[in-house]
Amino acid sequence: MAQGERGYIGYKKEATWGVDPGGAATRFFPFISETLTPKIEELMSAAQRGILDEPLSFQGERSFAGDLLLEVHPVSIGHILRSALGAPAAEALADSVETVLENCEDLWTGHEDVIVELDSADKKKGTYSNKITVPAGVADTTILAYEDFAGVDMGAVTALKFWIKTSIDLIAEDLEILISETGGVAGAPLVLDVGVLVANTWTEVTVATGDLSGGAYDTVISVGLRLGADLAQFTIRIDDVRMVVAGTATTAYKHVFTPMQTLAQEFAAGAQDSPLWPYTFDIFRDQGVPFSILGAVVNTLNLSFSTSDKIMKAACGILAKNGGVGTAAGIALEATKPFVWENAKIGVGGTYAGSPNNNLESFSLTWDNKCIEKFLLNNTAIPAKIIKTGYREVPVSFVIDFVDRTEYNHFLSGTERQFQIILEGSAVPGDAASTPYTLQLDLPLVRYLTYPINIGGPGRMMCAVTGKAKYSGGHVLQASLINAERTAEYAG
């Protein structure tokens, strides 16, 4: 007889929606329960047959969906966020500090042979990106465009970080970014290869600058792009150039998940039939080889914790394409401790450091992608696509001790409030700064919908507040995860 305590779930990243990448799973969810159930629609004939029993029936559409309840651990939750929100930006050491060097909000100065424009439609941050159109025949080593600014001391900087998009594939030497202590990136600039770029895809590039201490770059006044090879006509868009100063962390890395907004960010940049990033789940139900769920994506994600539900939980609403037979594997669960309520920090009205609120006893939010399975007349009974049916929503709820009217007055006035939730666990092994495993959720605006102040009898008054997160500053929610993983773990 099969027993639940012998069950486990492995997961594997898919390169093609609904296609098992093969082999045994090497990563496993710390799951609590699952209801991932294959269902087959029954098609009933409408023909009268002169008998009282139900008419003939046939098998119709198949669906593979259900819920997966997990404990939130610092590695596997990254894959849940990756499926629901999209792949994160490249990792940085956890205590690295990023400062804007050039926001690309005003027009760069272009070479006489190129056209530079502000692009308000295709950008990554703020109002504009700089769009640079490079015609064929522009010689290599040509400075395509640059921006001058007031002097900036970059002596402590260890890397440059920026968003860039090109209309053609580029190899590492095709394009260079320059910084200089002379206007127009003249003189003897620092020259850095931008790296490999995939056509028509926004890429967050991090390029190491090396050691800039010693006064050589204490008054940088220009940044620009230079052509490294003779190329056909193409366009470049650049946005949000930042300086990175690394701290003392050595093995703790931060991954920032920002919800997808463009086709280029979605799974395979629109080339696949799922906008969300898919996985194969191998579910071992104590029955020999595991049951596979193929093309599984996280449509809804609820994160909750409280003083009564002390370990943070993730309830995932899963949509999938098909079922199959998996490959048996030896289970290897994470050794890290989960996030618990006693390590929770919540800021209301700002960051935790600026606006800590210690009066909440529970908090819950739900990320809803508003996706459904779509069936087509394609000679198969399994879903042909996963499609969006509406705007994403992020409902929020919490229970707060009614100690004063501060938040209630914000509810009455309609003031939207910033929330920041930080959950910390044990320290990342081997990290010089003893950085804890961390999950940080930033909601730039939350609108309160209900704020019931009711007397339920003797005792303290608690309010079960509901609200909804709103889009602001480029996202409705942003998740930052600190663990020991590198970019490849969560990359496409």
**Quick check: 492 pLDDT over 80?**
no
pLDDT at position 334 over 90 = no
State the pLDDT confidence band at 211, using cuts at 50, 70 and 90.
confident
Do 237 and 165 contact (CB within 8 A), yes or no?
A: yes
Which pLDDT band holds residue 237 (cuts at 50, 70, 90)? very high
pLDDT for 246: 84
Contacts of 248 (CB under 8 A, 6+ apart): 95, 432, 433
Residues, the chain: 492
What backbone phi and psi angles, to 5 degrees, belong to 82? -60, -45
- Can you give the pLDDT at residue 32? 94
3-class secondary structure, 27? strand
The Cα 340–Cα 313 span in angstroms is 9
Q: 116-141: per-residue pLDDT in tens?
A: 999 999 988 888 999 999 999 999 99
Contact by Cβ (8 Å): 259, 85: yes
How high is the pLDDT of residue 5? 84
Tokens of 179: 């910084």
Q: Are 321 and 17 in contact (CB under 8 A)?
A: yes
- Asked if 433 and 249 touch (Cβ cutoff 8 Å), the reply is yes
397-435 pLDDT, tens digit each: 999 999 999 999 999 999 999 999 999 998 999 999 999
Which residue is listed with tokens 């995939």? 198
Q: Which residues of 306-340 are buried (b: 16+ CB within 10 A; e: fewer)?
A: beeeeebbbbbbbbbbbbbebbebeeeebebebbb
Q: At which residue do the structure tokens 């490249």 appear?
A: 90
Q: Which residues pair with 424 in a beta bridge?
A: 438
Return the pLDDT at 213: 83
* Residue range 367-389, pLDDT digits in tens: 999 999 999 999 999 999 999 99
Distances (CA, A) of 482 to 99, 206, 289, 332, 356: 19, 18, 34, 21, 21
What's the whole-number average pLDDT of the chain?
A: 92
pLDDT bracket for residue 18 (50, 70, 90): very high
Whether residue 285 has pLDDT greater than 80: yes
- Read off the pLDDT of residues 141-169 as tens digits, 9 standing for 90 and up: 999 999 999 899 998 898 999 999 999 99
Categorize the per-residue pLDDT at 396 as very low, low, confident or very high, splitting at 50, 70 and 90: very high
**pLDDT range class, residue 199, cuts 50, 70, 90:** very high
Confidence of residue 342 (pLDDT cuts 50, 70, 90): confident
Q: What are phi and psi of 243, to 5 degrees?
A: -100, 140
**pLDDT over 90 (residue 176):** yes
* Nearest residue to 138 via CA among 164, 117, 114, 165: 114
- Cα–Cα nearest to 381, from 18, 40, 45, 66: 40
Is the model's pLDDT at 229 over the cut of 90?
Answer: no
CB 217, CB 154: distance < 8 Å: yes
Across residues 443-453, what is the average pLDDT? Answer: 96
In this structure, what are the phi and psi dihedrals at residue 489, rounded to the nearest 5 degrees?
-60, -40
* Closest residue by Cα to residue 268 from 64, 67, 19: 19
What pLDDT does residue 97 have?
85
pLDDT tens digits for 68-115? 999 999 989 999 999 999 999 888 899 888 889 999 999 999 999 999
Q: Residue 215 above 80 pLDDT?
A: no
Q: What is the CATH number of domain 97-245?
A: 2.60.120.260
* pLDDT reported for residue 270: 86
CB 387 within 8 A of CB 458: no
Q: What is the pLDDT of residue 218?
A: 82
Looking at residue 91, its pLDDT comes to: 85
Confidence of residue 329 (pLDDT cuts 50, 70, 90): confident
Please report how many Cα atoms fall inside a 13 Å half-sphere around the Cα of residue 460, on the Cβ side.
10
Task: Report the alpha-carbon distance of residue 408 to residue 350 in Å, rounded.
Answer: 16
For residue 187, name the pLDDT band (cuts at 50, 70, 90): confident
pTM of the model: 0.81
Return d(Cα 479, Cα 339) in angstroms, integer.
Answer: 15
Tell me the sheet residues that pair with 305. Answer: 363
Q: What is the pLDDT, as a whole number, of residue 172? A: 85
pLDDT of 286: 83
β-strand pairing of 175-180 with 220-227: antiparallel
pLDDT at 201: 87
Answer yes or no: are the C-beta atoms of 267 and 321 closer than 8 Å. Answer: no
Of 67, 65, 64, the closest CA to residue 381 belongs to 64
CA proximity to 300, closest of 370, 351, 400? 370
Average pLDDT of the residues in 484-492: 90
Gap between the terminal Cα atoms of the chain: 40
What residue segments make up the domains of the chain, in order of their start? 4-41+58-93+253-490, 97-245
Task: Give how far the C-alpha of residue 30 lies from the chain's centroid of Cα atoms, to the nearest Å.
Answer: 20
Write out the E strands in 103-229.
109-110, 115-119, 129-134, 143-152, 159-166, 175-180, 190-193, 203-208, 220-227
In the structure encoding, which two tokens stand for residue 92, read together? 């940085």
Q: Identify the residue with better confidence: 469 or 6.
A: 469
Query: Using one digit for the tens of pLDDT, what is the confidence trace for 299-317?
Result: 999 999 999 999 999 999 9
